[in-house]
Amino acid sequence: MVLKRQNKYNRAKAVEYAKTYALSPNPSFKYFNVYETFGGDCTNFVSQCLLAGGAPMTYIGEHAWWYNKSSTFSTADDRWSVSWTVAHSLYWTLKVNNETNTNGVKGQEVNSVSTLELGDLIFYENQRGIIFHSAIVTGFSPIATLVSQHTYEARNIPYLKPWLNPRYHYMKIRI
């Protein structure tokens, strides 16, 4: 008898959150402005979507993923893990958690965008081999998989970017 792993990730809630806050960031979380060429709020936004989909924060271990509010009135003193806010760190955290079957949110990399579902993630790699951007799948059109993202804020846009991206990483999410 083969038991199929049940996925507790609520894709509908993750996507609902993404669509709600794609164009106007949630004021309950710190917003990371674009800083030179070092990025902005994309992975912070994706992490919030994962959390809304039921992904539990993990505070211990090499691949911890968490966000702590310091106050109900301001985000100025909030704290977070590197994997909460940095695209390549979240990518590796999801991948390692999947490979080791660690408790918490996991991501299995797949070869084709056509296998993604709502709530899955796409990571973007630059010419130097660095994963620098992340987005969440929030829809499908007859010609494209659609994502929502921050840095720049966008809702339901085609995932293919005009930037020179030699590689996309397609990540199936589960808890």
Average pLDDT score over residue span 15-36: 90
Cα-Cα end-to-end distance for the chain: 22
Q: Is the pTM of this model over 0.75?
A: yes
pLDDT tens readout for residues 83-128 = 999 999 999 999 999 999 988 999 999 999 999 999 999 999 988 8
Average pLDDT score over residue span 146-157: 95
11-19+30-174 maps to CATH 3.40.50.720? no
In what helix (H) or strand (E) does residue 13 lie, and over which residues does it extend?
Answer: helix 11-21
Q: Where are the domains of the chain?
A: 11-19+30-174
Among residues 31, 73, 72, 70, which one has the least CA distance to residue 48? 31
